[in-house]
Structure 1
Amino acid sequence: MRRGRGARLARVLVAGGCVAVLGFASSSAVATPGSGVSGTVVAKGTSAGKLKVRTLDGRTDVTFRTITVEPGGSTGWHTHRGQLIAVVKSGTLTRTLHDCSVEVTSAGSSFIEPSGARHRHIGRNLGPEPVVLWVTYLLPEGSELSDDAEAPSCRTK
């Protein structure tokens, strides 16, 4: 009887270990990590009630952050659960979007990133100076600032 419980426990532990290993393997297989990127949260707050932002229901985290992308740096492919409003303070940011189109945004210009998994994108600094962004995130309460995403088949060079 005791031996049966021990064997059962061993099978459960082995199965659990396999699931854990598969979880790590699958997340590393699709992740497209960034490099040469740093960010600082300047301010963060949560709306007291519903904020009138498209695609968001309920309470909203509003985060203001500065992001620096060093020359040759990349954000990695990612998505956001809410909208972002970004201003390029300095440098030139090159973004490849989910449909493989490319948008180039220079200092003094801004852009809006829509929410949702189908709006994956990557930001790259192809220039000789750091890109500095001022970004306001409007995300559902408790959301991560971004979620890793798999690169589309167009793959950036």
Structure 2
Amino acid sequence: MKRLSYAMCFLTIVLVQTTAFSQSTCDEVKKENEYLRKALKITTPVKTATSLNIDFNLIKAEGNKKEQTVTLTLTIVNHEANQRVNFNNAKAIDTEGNEYETYEISIGSSSSSNTVYTDTPVKTTIRFKKVLPSTLIFKLIPINYYHENKSGVVTFEYKDIPIDWK
């Protein structure tokens, strides 16, 4: 009887520890899933423009009411051999015909020029200034860049981009 009692105690301890371990593993998996959901949401493009085997994935257009700026966040994915991409300029035109020029561009950790590696996304931001919070949509955003293999300036564009004001 005493042995049965020890066996039951031992079995109870093992079950409690297994349950606690399973619960902590389950919590870790839930946290990891939440992180991956957020990562997918952050990198899901609103629109994609493709030019000469380079995808320019627009992630968001976010306005800052206080600064009166709009920042485009995009990723550049090059599907050819490593190459340098250099943004010359970008403009944005709203639905009323007002035109805005960039005052800040960054490709990865550099300013407006950087190497884009094969099939590796590089985060890029393009910022427009003097945009009033009443501007809700950019009707057209033409962006010029220098493509080293093309040896010239190439343009791609986005149309009808809503601005998320913060």
Both structures adopt the same fold (TM-score exceeding 0.5): no
Q: Which has the larger radius of gyration?
A: 2
TM-score by length of 2: 0.34
More helix by share: 2
Higher fraction of strand: 2
If asked which structure has higher relative contact order (CA below 8 Å, sep 6+), I would say 1
